[in-house]
Amino acid sequence: MKVEYLVIHHSFTKDGLVVDWKAIRDYHINTNGWDDIGYHYGIEKVNGDYVIISGRSEDTNGAHTKEQGMNSKSLGICVIGNYDLGEPDKRAFDLLVILCVGLCKKYKLTADKIRTHHEYANYKTCPGSKFPMDKLRNEADRMLKEG
């Protein structure tokens, strides 16, 4: 897979006390019949602190944005939580910026290649109507230009 974009998602579920990533992964495998969770990375709060969790390997097509062939040209990143209800926690957001900047550097992408699921599937608000997407692109852009 040639990575041309990063696509940001939310889980649309409340971030619980336990590892919700596992429940999502189980659902994708057992209910959807997929080989693995549909996303390449996730961000969630585990034992009181936010962590980046790996999903599918980066060289495997995703199963997160079927529109416009995006699964074969983007990495899917899911921030656990429902961001129709409010903005993500600052620590989750900061971790997402770091993850995106690292991936942009690795694949030589500019910050405008960080997209939302909603941009391809306008029937969804994913990653949430309150998600600060402009802020994400602006901060990533600033960090990429600093080098």
Task: Give the footprint of Zn ion on this chain (CB under 5 A).
Answer: 9, 117, 126
Tokens (6 digits) for 46: 């585990």
Q: How far is the CB of 124 from Zn ion (least distance, A)?
A: 6
How near is the Cβ of 132 to Zn ion at its closest, in Å?
16
Specify the DSSP class assigned to residue 126: T
CA distance 7 to 13: 18
For Zn ion, the closer CB: 74 or 103: 74
**CB under 8 Å to 71, separation ≥6 — which residues?**
61, 62, 63, 64, 65
Assess contact for 95 and 139: CB atoms under 8 A: no
Question: CB-wise, 9 or 40, nearer to Zn ion?
Answer: 9
Q: How far is the CB of 26 from Zn ion (least distance, A)?
A: 18
* Residue placing its CB nearer to Zn ion in the complex, 9 or 137: 9
